[in-house]
Amino acid sequence: FNEHTEILTSQLDFVNTNWSPDFETIRRHEVDVSLDPDTAHCTLILSEDGKQVRHGELNPDLLDNWKRFKYLFGVLGKEGFSGKFYYEVKVEGKTEWTLGVVRKSIYTYVWFRPHLKKGCWTVELEDGKYTAHADSSVTLSLREKPQKVGVFVDYEKCLVSFYNVEDRCHIYSFTGCTFSKELYPFFNPGSSDSISLVISPVDATV
């Protein structure tokens, strides 16, 4: 099994049909996600309403907070969730981002790239490639470039799924996950552009 496995989205759709519920049903599990400024890396700029984050200049005044990401351009949501929950993030125009959910214990591993064994379930765009970070990195071949990404967690089914909202299609799912505590939404806007990741309200009309 190669470290980087190429999987076509069409194959994923086929494989995951049995445990992927209807997309509109998933969207009914929307939760209100806001960013936690105490966890944001010192180069990240958050909007006042806590719904947007982008890369900016280093703010040395923020370095003393131990809760803050130091080696990853990341920020957590203010609240953790369990059960079934869903949220959407606008990524339009961005050349780099990482989205998903994490255990709060990720702080123990801030030296590292997000990784399933370290309590992270994420999908990333970097250098024009989409990657799902699991026990081994899975390179995704997507039919369309997502402009808005939906993240869905079913705690009881040990499932974390990602969706292209506009196309209403499945991007990737982690199955057989091990959860023991609440999961926190994770956002990394990258450092290659200054466009914000935007937490968007779920709109039935997309």
Lowest mean pLDDT among 7-21, 102-116, 163-177: 7-21
| Encoded tokens for 74 | 């990341």
What is the structure's pLDDT at 145?
94
5-59+71-200: what CATH class?
mainly beta
114 pLDDT tier (thresholds 50, 70, 90):
low
53-67 tens-digit pLDDT: 999 876 665 556 656
Contacts of 128 (CB under 8 A, 6+ apart): 95
Residue 11: phi, psi to the nearest 5? Answer: -65, -40
What is the structure's pLDDT at 61?
59
Is residue 13 within 8 A of residue 169, CB to CB? The reply is yes
CA angle 200, 204, 206 (to 5 degrees): 60
* pLDDT of 10 above 70: no
| Encoded tokens for 174 | 């982690």
116-169 tens-digit pLDDT: 457 889 999 999 999 998 666 899 999 899 999 999 999 999 999 999 999 999
What is the structure's pLDDT at 2?
41
Beta strand residue intervals within the chain, DSSP E: 5-8, 44-46, 52-55, 75-76, 84-90, 97-102, 120-126, 129-133, 138-141, 148-154, 159-164, 169-174, 184-188, 197-200
For the whole model, what pTM was predicted? 0.85
Measured CA to CA, the distance from residue 108 to residue 131 in angstroms comes to: 23
